[in-house]
Structure 1
Amino acid sequence: MSTDQDLLTRDLLTDPYAVYDRLRDTAPVHRVVGPDGSPAWLVTRYGDVREALANPLLSLDKRHALPGGYKGFALPPALDANLLNMDPPDHTRIRRLVGRAFTPRRVEQLRAPVRRTADRLLDALGPQGSADLIAAYAAPLPVTVICDLLGVPDEHRRDFRTWTDVLVAPDPARPQAAKEAVVAMLGFFTQLLADKRKEPADDLLSDLIAARDEGDRLSEDELMSLAFLILFAGYENTVQLIGTAVLALLQHPDQLAALRADPSQLPAAIEEFARYDGPALLAIRRFPVEDVTIGDVTVPAGETVLLSLAAANRDPRRFPDADRFDLGRDTAGHLALGHGIHYCVGAPLARLETRIALTALLERLPNLQLDGDPGDLRWRPSLRARGLLTLPVTY
C-alpha cells in the first residue's frame, strides 16, 4: 500500500497518465483523498482492476458506504435510483429493460440517421477552414442521437448540454452551479415524462413509461433516474471518445494515413482509441460489503474503492509498450467501457456513433490538422471524466 493524501486533488488534473504510471510501479493499491476530501482506496493495475470490476463483494449501492466516506456526486432521489448506484437484483431487472434499446439490431437501425446528422454538422462547417471540432461536431452529434432516441424536443437540447457540462466538471468558483443544474434537470425530466404520458410517441422514453405504467416494473424514481442516466452517459462518454480519437489521429499522422488507406480498420481502431485515451479515468466508486483483499491490501467493509480504468488500460503487464498509440495493437480485454455486469449498456451505440463520426471526417475533411500546439489544449477539470473542452482544427 502507498499513501498520497493529495493525489486526487493535484496531479491527476494536469497529467493523469504520468501519475498512473508512477502509481502502478509503486504499489497496487494507494490510500488517497477523494474529490470531496474524504478517504478512498485507488487501484491501478490491470489484473486488480479487472477482478474488482466483477467482484460481487464490491457494491455500487451507497447504503453500503461508511458515514463520511466518498460517495460520488450527490443527486436527489428522483435522479439517483439509476444503474450506477445499484446491485442485483434491481440492477439486473432495470438493465434487462434498457438493454432492449441497445441490441445490435436496434443500434444498426440508427446507422443512417447518425450519418445524416454527421453530414449535416459537417455541412454547417462551411468553407471557413477552421473550427472547434468539439463544439461544432463531437458534442452536438451524440446529443442529437440520444435525444432522438429518447424523444427529447429540439428546443431543450442546448439546455441539456449546458447542464451536463456543469455536472461533469463543476466549477469551484461557482459551487451553486451544479446544484442549479440538478434542479433544472429534475424539472426538465418531470415535465418531459408528463408530456410523454399524455402523448406517447415512437421513442425509448415512451416505451419505458409503458413498461412502468402497465407492468409496474419501474418505480417512479427508477424511471426518472433511468431517463437521466441514458441522456447523461449517452452524451458524455461519446463526445469525449470522439474528441480524443480525433486528437490521437492528428498527433500520429502515420496512423492517420494508415486508417485513410484502409478504412476497414476503423472498428478495431475504435478499441485502441478507447484503450489509449478513453472517456473515463475512474469507474464508479464501489463499497465492500465485507472486508476484501485487493492486490496486497485488505480494504475494510464500507470504505470507498476507486478503480482506475485509465491506469489499467496503460498497464504494460497487460498491454506491451502501453503508452504507445498503435492501431494495429491487440486490444482484447481493455476496460474502457467496464467489465462484468456493469459493462456499459450503451457501448454498441457509442461504437457506432464514433465509427460514423470518424468515417465522415476522413471522407469529407482530407486535410484535417490540429490548429495550434497540443500543449495548449484545454481538458475538462475532472478526476473521473477524460475529455477535451475544445479541439481547434483547420481543414
Structure 2
Amino acid sequence: MTPDASTAPSYDLWAPQVRANPFPLYQYLREKDPVARVMDPHRQMPFWLLTRYRDVVETAKDPRLTNDVEKLPEELRKKFRGGGAQTLNRHLLVMDPPDHTRVRSLATQAFTPRRVEALRPRITALCAELLESMKARGSADFVEAFAFPLPITVISELLGVPLEDRAQFRTWIEVFFTPPAQGGMERIRESLDRLLAYLEGFIELRRRQPQEDLVTALLAVEEQGDRLSTRELLSMIYLLLVAGHETTVHVLSNGTLELLRHPDQLQLLREDPSLIPSAVEELLRFCGPVELTMGRFALEDFELCGQPIKAHDVVRMNILAANHDAEQFPDPERLDVKRSPNKHLAFGQGIHFCLGSNLAKLEATLAFEVIIERLPHLRLAVPPEQLQWRSSAQVRGLMRLPLSFEAP
C-alpha cells in the first residue's frame, strides 16, 4: 500500500545519534527493509527509501520514475517546487530527457575536462596558501579555515566573479549553506534572493562584456541554433554552487577525519603519495557527502523491488548506504585506500551522473597531497565523540573539525 503519515515506520534518519553514525541503521535497512517507508520531517510526507546498491543503480535508470516535478498534478507541484526559488529549479537534477539531454549537451561544451585541468596550478597554490595560514596558528577548525574557502574560491574564479565581489559572494553562500538556527530561515531566504539578483546582473554583464570564464562560455554555447535560457543559466550556476561547493567541503572534512581515524591508511599515503587518487575514490565511497538523493516521482502504479508503488509516490535513494553494501564492496566497513575496483555511487548514476565530478576529484586530490606532505603531525584537537554533525540527512558533513598541526 502507499505509505502515509499514519503507517510510515519511525526510521529517524535525522536523529542526532544517526547523524553521528548512520551505518548500523543503513545495514539494518539493507538487510531487513530495503524499500523502506520513511517520514520526511520537513514536509511531513512519507517517501520510499532504497539502500541496496543494485536497487539504487537500477532505480536511477527506471523510466517509470521522473525527476521533473512539473510532470506532477498541480496540488503536488506546490509541495515540491521549493518556495520562492522558482528561478533556480530548472537544473539538470530536476530534468528528464529530452530537456535534460539538451541542457547537459550544451553545458558539457562549456564545462570541459580541459577547462577543469587548467585549474590545477591555481588549486595547488590555493591549497598551499590556506594550509600555511592554518599551520602558522598551530591549530584551527579545518572546515572554516580550509574545507570551506577552497571550493568557494575555485568556483568563484571559475565562474568569473570579480575579485571585489568575492567577499560578499562568499558571505551569501556561507549563510545559504549554514544550517538555520531558530528563526534563521528568513536570513537564508534573504541571502538567496540577493545571490539570485547578483547572478542575474552578472549574466547580463557577461552578455555585454565577455571574458575567459565559465559564465561567458555557458552564454556562448550553441547547438543546432539552441542556447541556454537565462533561467537555465541561473539554475546551472546554482547547481554548480551546490554540487561543486557544499559536497567538496564535506569530502575534504569527512575524508580528513577518516584518515585520522585510520592511521594505517594515512601512513600508506605518506609512504606512497601516488595512492592519493585511489584514496580519494575510497573516501568518496566510505564517507562521501551525499546520503539522500532528491525525490523521484512515480508516473504510474508499479512494483519496485517487491514493493507496490503508487503513482506520484516519492522514491529516494541513499547513496552512502549503497556504497556500504557488502554485495558490491567486500568488507565495506573497512577503509582501504588501495580498493580496486571501486564503482562507488558518490557522483550519482546514469544520466544524472555529476557534471562536476572531475573538478571535485581534482580539488580533493590536490588538497590531500598538500595536507599529507606538509602536516606530518596532523591530529584531532578534540575527542572524536565531541564532533558535531550537520542535522541534514541529505548531505553528511561535520559542523566543525578542530585540528592540531604541532608535534605532541
Pick the TM interval, shorter chain.
over 0.9
CA displacement, residues 308-329 of structure 1 (integer Å, 9 cap, x when unaligned)? 0011011112112212212122
> Residue deviations 1:351-392, cap 9 Å, x none?
000000000111111111111111111222211011122111
Query: Which has the higher mean CA deviation after the structures are superposed, 245-254 or 53-62?
Result: 53-62
| The 10-residue stretch of structure 1 (98-107 or 6-15) with the greater mean CA deviation from structure 2 | 6-15
Give the aligned residue type for 1:218: L
Residue 146 (structure 2) aligns with: 137
Which residues of 2 match residues 131-170 of structure 1 at below 5 A? 131-168=140-177, 170=179
Partner of 2:29: 23
Runs of at least 5 residues in structure 2 that lack an aligned partner in the other structure: 2-6
Partners of 2:164 and 2:361 lie apart in 1 by 27
CA distance in 2 between counterparts of 1:154 and 1:21 reads 47
Distance in 2, matches of 1:155 and 1:173, equals 32
SS at match of 2:146: helix
Tell me how far apart the structure 2 counterparts of residues 164 and 293 of structure 1 sit (CA, whole Å): 41
d(CA) in 1 for partners of 2:357 and 2:229? 25
TM-score, length basis structure 1: 0.93
1:236-280 Cα offsets, whole Å, 9 max, x none, are 111111111111111111100011101111111111100001011
Give the structure 1 partner of residue 46 of structure 2: 39
In the other structure, the counterpart of 1:239 is 249
Shift of 1:176: 2.0
Task: Report SS of the residue matched to 2:285.
Answer: helix
Per-residue displacement from partner, 1:10-60 (whole Å, max 9, x unpaired)?
364343222212211221111111232112111111111111112222211
- Is the alpha carbon distance of 1:280 and 1:164 closer, same or farther for their aligned partners in structure 2, counting shifts above 3 Å? farther
- Aligned residue in 1 for 2:117: 108
Calculate the TM-score normalised by the size of structure 2.
Answer: 0.90
Residue aligned with 1:355, SS: helix
Count of residue correspondences: 395
Q: Determine what percentage of the aligned residue pairs are the same residue.
A: 41
Deviations 1:60-100 (A, max 9, x none): 10123453486374452221111111111111111122223
Which residue identity does 1:211 align to in structure 2? V
Distance 2:207 2:146 in 1: 32
Quote the Cα distance in structure 2 between the aligned partners of 1:14 and 1:367.
26
Deviations 1:149-178 (A, max 9, x none): 110123443444444444445425123233
Moved more, 155-164 or 381-390: 155-164
Q: Which has the higher mean CA deviation after the structures are superposed, 66-75 or 242-251?
A: 66-75
Contact 1:64-1:302 within 8 A present in 2 as well = no
Structure 1: 5+ residue stretches without partners: none
Residue 50, structure 1, aligned to residue 57, structure 2 = yes
Asked whether the equivalents of residues 312 and 335 of structure 1 are also in contact (C-alpha less than 8 Å), the reply is yes
Q: Greater shift after overlay, 338-347 or 57-66?
A: 57-66
Classify 1:306/1:228 alpha carbon distance in 2 versus 1 (closer, same or farther; 3 Å).
Answer: same
Is contact 2:219–2:227 with CA below 8 Å preserved after alignment?
no
Contact 1:71/1:285, CA 8 A, preserved across alignment: no
Alignment of 1:228 with 2:235, yes or no, is no
